[in-house]
Amino acid sequence: MTRPDRIIVTLLASFVLTGCGGSGLRPQTAVSSALQRSADSRRWPAMSDRWLVSIASRNGRERIELVDLSSRQPVPLPGLNQADAQPVSVSVSADGNRIALVRRRNGQTELNLYRRNVGLLQRLPLEPAGVPRDVSLDGSGRLLAVQVSRRGRWDVDLIRLP
């Protein structure tokens, strides 16, 4: 290898190593700033290529918020966030049209599916009965994994959705 070739290889190796681990991971400033403006705090993030769903808190009230990452704007979710319900866990399909959620309402913890394109919130019964805690929706929005407590034991149910 000639001296110029060695210099190029050394510079490329240095660039790759510095880019991968030298400066650490940093949030995307524009997206992070937009998220901070719309809520006091956030938890339970889940995302697809274009969508970010999380439980956002503002003035002590928690709600589920869906953000279009391309526009950095929250998307309206009519009929989803109800004053008497506290969200626990949330997940979104790749196209952003289905949101799976666990929430506490009227002293019970329930599993729900929200269909954004029609503004419909549907409760999903668990068979056998159990207490849901965590949800994960696949990219198609047709397969749901839910962590469920039954008789003091945690299980994961896979549920095929219509």
Query: pLDDT of 126-136, one tens digit each?
Result: 999 999 999 99
Residue 13 to residue 19: CA distance in whole angstroms: 10
- Whole-number Å distance between alpha carbons of 4 and 144: 55
pTM across the whole model: 0.79
Question: Would you call the peptide bond into 162 cis, given omega within 30 degrees of 0 as the criterion?
Answer: no
Which pLDDT does position 9 carry in this prediction?
Answer: 47
Residue-wise pLDDT for 9-34, tens only, equals 444 445 554 555 556 777 666 565 55
φ, ψ of residue 18 to 5 degrees: the values are -65, -40
Per residue in 145-162, pLDDT tens? 999 999 999 999 999 998
Phi and psi at residue 96, in whole multiples of 5°? 75, 5
Tokens 């219509």 found at: 162
What is the pLDDT at residue 11? Answer: 46
- Tell me which of 108 and 1 has the higher pLDDT: 108
Angle, alpha carbons 95-136-105 (nearest 5°)? 105
